[in-house]
Structure 1
Amino acid sequence: MMEINKLIPAPEIRNWTGPFDDTEYYLNLGKEQAEKIIQWLSIKPEQKILDIGCGCGRIAIHFLNYLNEQGKYIGIDSNKLLLSYCEDNISTVNNNFQFEFVDAYNGAYSRDGKLKCQDIVFPVENESVDTVIMWSVFTHMYLADIDAYLKEIHRVLKKGGLFISSFNLYNKFIENQIKTDKAYLNINYKINEASYTLDKETPEGGFAHDEEKIKDLYWENGFFIREIKYGIWSSKELAGEFHDCIIAEKLEDCLLPK
């Protein structure tokens, strides 16, 4: 069994992905999220996983003792520093864990990126992965970019494959929570009829998107939403996963919307 606590990066690396000065918090959060993903998506040890926005492997390391010799983990990210850490510390202990650079532009996290999200092709073959993970990625993307990524995710997922992504979903309840200062995140700058942001100067710093619009995008791109697990960002009185999570299944071609 791999000693996962030996794979915690230094603060200057892990803090790129969040406020993780606390080593124990970093380790436990990744463990909890990996366990939820495995349970919610019924991931088998022999499956192939694509982690979009893998960062420095906070979730990936907790699959080292779960996936078997047939299982494979592919992480992609736009941060070369974080990917180098993953390659030097995770791939070296298990070469079934591979990490790929995608030169994506993002106004908050990768301003030097050369590719618009709508022009990106994931370095993954068609219908080759069982599961796709996206944690804290769509929360930093415009709707048009989400639409483009959904198309790519549909391309790489096997038929019937599952996909989990985190969101801040905007609805009437959230609107009221923000207006009455009951939400953790004050996402109140309106960009258009379907999108709001924490910071009007750097919108990619944190988006909330209209829930019905997101549902429409999933359906239009060939995904059936199995479940939405609402997070606690909407209320200071709740406990649980912070962001909302959408669990979706790739539809068979005959079931795709016309």
Structure 2
Amino acid sequence: MTAAVTVLKSVGDAPLRPDFDETRLAWLMQGVQANRFLPEPTIDSIFVGDGDYRAIGSEFLGHLVRLGGLLPDDRVLDIGSGIGRIAVPLTQYLTPAGAYWGVDPVADGVAWCKQHITPVYDNFRFDHIDVAHHIYNPKGAIKGEALRLSFEPESFEFIFMVSVATHLPPREIAAYIREARRLLVPGGRLFITAFILDEVAQRALPQRDPRLAFKREGEGPAWLVDRTAPLSAVGFDDGFFERVIQGLGLSLCLKSLGHWRGQKAAHYQDILVVEKKG
């Protein structure tokens, strides 16, 4: 059985956004991995997870375009920009008419991006947000539930949160999605990665990633791997995101389940694409 890609909104048989050029996209992705002139942090400074920095960034460029519908001229907000793993590939995709803004609670990652990306790509900007997080910014002054970014309403066509919801409690996820709704233009998209505990994930197939032995936290909706470090990996009941999204008046365009659960899929984490109604 393979993980399904469920498209929940379309207009007739038309694509949700104009067709992208697959040949050009594949060429860009290969170029990102091969281009030795693109900036890359030292291995010991990468705090955004394991795996090859350049390869994972290139992979997500593909996901944002193919699944999210990211356009080259979009104004983009990266919530949880880390140390530029996705920003670097996007420098090769976004045009000067587009713009990228990354925000993150890890000051060192923001400083690296400002030093190595912005001087060459002046439409790429980065800000430190002092939001509290037990792992990434334990002394932060802002509670996640009170998140409000310093941008005007309807400033972005595209917002993404990659490996952010996988490290947040339920109430903070709702706050982040609410803030994304405020910042998106009508018709704008929010791209989220997550761990969704559907029936297949709960059965724990033998092929499932053994690092993600989730156990339900009380009555849910959260599932934790390590209760001593609860935000190291957080999963959620199937349907949790749909309830939050619907409650905020947003529409779920796509839900694509990842191969972390032991099923064949084109990506590791689960992916949701949300649209703000026009």
Per the TM superposition, whether the score is higher than 0.5 is: yes
Task: Determine which of 235, 241, 245 is the counterpart of 1:208.
Answer: 235
Could you say which residue in structure 2 is the equivalent of 1:143? 170
Superposition deviation, residue 43 in structure 1: 2.1
Further displaced range: 3-12 or 137-146:
3-12
1:17 equivalent among 26, 44, 48: 48
Who is 2:268 aligned against?
Answer: 242
Q: Tell me the distance in 2 between the aligned counterparts of 1:29 and 1:101.
A: 23
Give 5+ residue unaligned stretches, structure 2.
Answer: 1-30
- Among all aligned residue pairs of Structure 1 and Structure 2, give the percentage whose two residues are the same amino acid: 24
Please list the CA deviations of residues 53-98 of structure 1 after superposition, one character each: whole Å capped at 9, or x if unmatched: 0101101111112111111000000000000000000001011000
Richer in helix (by share): 1
What is the SS of the residue equivalent to 2:102?
Answer: strand
TM superposition shift of 1:5:
4.9
User: What corresponds to 1:183 in structure 2?
Assistant: 208
Q: Quote the offset at 1:48 in angstroms.
A: 0.3
Identify which range, 74-83 or 201-210, moves more after superposition. 201-210
Kept after mapping to 1: 8 A contact 2:75/2:158 = yes
**Matches of residues 41-60 of structure 1 in structure 2 within 5 Å?**
41-60=68-87
Which structure has more relative contact order (CA 8 Å, sep 6+)? It is: 2
Q: CA deviation at 1:223?
A: 1.4
Supply the distance in 1 between the matched residues of 2:64 and 2:245 (Cα, whole angstroms): 19
Give the partner amino acid of 2:63: K
- The residue type equivalent to 2:38 in the other structure is K
- Residues of 2 paired with 1:218 and 1:239: CA distance? 24
- Alpha-carbon RMSD across the aligned residues, in angstroms, is 1.7
Amino acid at match of 2:48: T
- Equivalences for 1:108-127 in 2 at 5 Å? 108-127=135-154
Shift of 1:107: 1.6
Letter in 2 for 1:126: P
Aligned length: 244
Cα distance change of structure 1 residues 191 and 207 upon mapping to structure 2, 3 Å threshold: farther
Task: State TM-score, norm by structure 1.
Answer: 0.89
Q: What is the deviation of 1:118?
A: 1.1
Q: Which amino acid aligns with 1:183?
A: R
SS at match of 1:153: helix
- Name the CA shift for 1:126/1:241 in 2 (closer, same or farther; >3 Å): same
After superposition, residues 61-100 of structure 1 pair within 5 angstroms as: 61-100=88-127
Gap change, CA 1:189 and 1:210, over 3 Å in 2:
closer
Letter in 2 for 1:6: L
Q: Is the 8 A contact 2:220 2:236 kept in 1?
A: no
